[in-house]
Amino acid sequence: MSGRNAQVSRLFTLLNLLELAPQGLTVSEITERLNDRDHEASKRTVYRDLEALTAAGFPLKEEAISDDTGATRWTLEKLTRINDHFILTSRELLALYLARGVLSPLKDTPFFEDLNSIFHKIEERIGSKGIRHLTEISQELHFEPGPRWGLGLDPDLLETVRAACSEKQVLEVTYASANSRSKASRQLGPHFLYFSKGSLYLVAEDLKDKKVKVFSLPRMSEATMLDRPYEGAEVDPATYFKDSFGIFTSGEPTTVRVEFSPLVAPFVKERRWHDSQKVVSKSDGSIVVTLEVALSPELIQWVLGYGENAIVLEPFDLRREVMKAASGVISRYSQLKAA
């Protein structure tokens, strides 16, 4: 690790060292402990880091040691008070500010302004000089924006759905099905809201067929919380999505094996696509990824995204669906070429 990324990592470690040493540490002690944790640091580096953190508003204090060495000891106030009800540790404050870029997909959501107000409170607390230093520290740490919230969502509708989840009341919505493209009234037993890939979903029981499903909030045009309690069994998000490759669930989990060519193997291998993932490397540089998941459109799209560099080994049902989709793509392009 080098450059600004190394500095960010070193600053986190430095803050952690001071948090764990309420009696304080000398610059020599900090330097030694940083190097013990694989950070290349000199006393001069530590002094610069302490100055940067102090300038950024972190509550650091330098106190003289009562001996003849003239050395000083640095201490850190563990909590940073934004206001009476919002208190962060110093590392939490730095991490929160650096992670601000992760929130960009929420820019067009009804609650983005509320999220922004949190950062305004932080900026008021640390001042303009602190903001400049934090911004400088974070220049080399950026986040992929990901899909942005594409459709406007009525804040009142969102609040109604949220309240129904919180109060466990039956929700009546007008919903546009993606398959039939028609609107219909549905009564739902709400469980929780789930944000994924730029959109917001409601996981709820469809009271008509008693099945728990995923509903897209942008496809809801009306929502009313009824004066009727929902008494269905609680659904845990981690359990509900455990066998899913993406947001949608369909059927029971099955063993999925996909072989990836040497060209894309490094990219696939270095990512965690699902908790059940197992990767076997082959002598030619290719890999075989094994998952225990339910088949879904998102799984099919994932395989198709690698084109000829991905081959479904099993199950046959998934291979057939991938072949069907690939044939459809070829057919569409053939028609376009003929035209």
Q: Which amino acid is at 15?
A: L
Question: pTM of the predicted model, to two decimals?
Answer: 0.62
Which numeric CATH code is attached to 254-338?
3.30.70
Q: 254-338: same fold as 155-240?
A: no
What is the β-pairing status of strands 86-89 and 287-293?
unpaired
Q: How far apart are CA 234 and CA 168, in angstroms?
A: 10
Return the minimum-mean-pLDDT range out of 5-14, 222-231, 244-253, 324-333: 5-14
Angle of helix 43-55 relative to helix 27-36, nearest 10 degrees, comes to: 100
Contact in structure between 132 and 192 (CB atoms under 8 Å) = no
Q: What is the mean pLDDT of the chain?
A: 83
The highest-level CATH class for domain 1-144 is mainly alpha
Confidence of residue 2 (pLDDT cuts 50, 70, 90): very low
Contact in structure between 275 and 282 (CB atoms under 8 Å) = no
**Given this model, what pLDDT does residue 152 score?**
62
Phi and psi of 292, rounded to 5°? -115, 90
Domain limits of the chain? 1-144, 155-240, 254-338
pLDDT digits (tens, 9 = 90+) for 173-208: 999 887 767 889 999 999 999 888 777 899 999 999
Return the minimum-mean-pLDDT range out of 11-15, 132-136, 226-230: 132-136
- The percent of residues above 70 in pLDDT, for the chain, comes to 79
Which numeric CATH code is attached to 155-240?
2.30.30
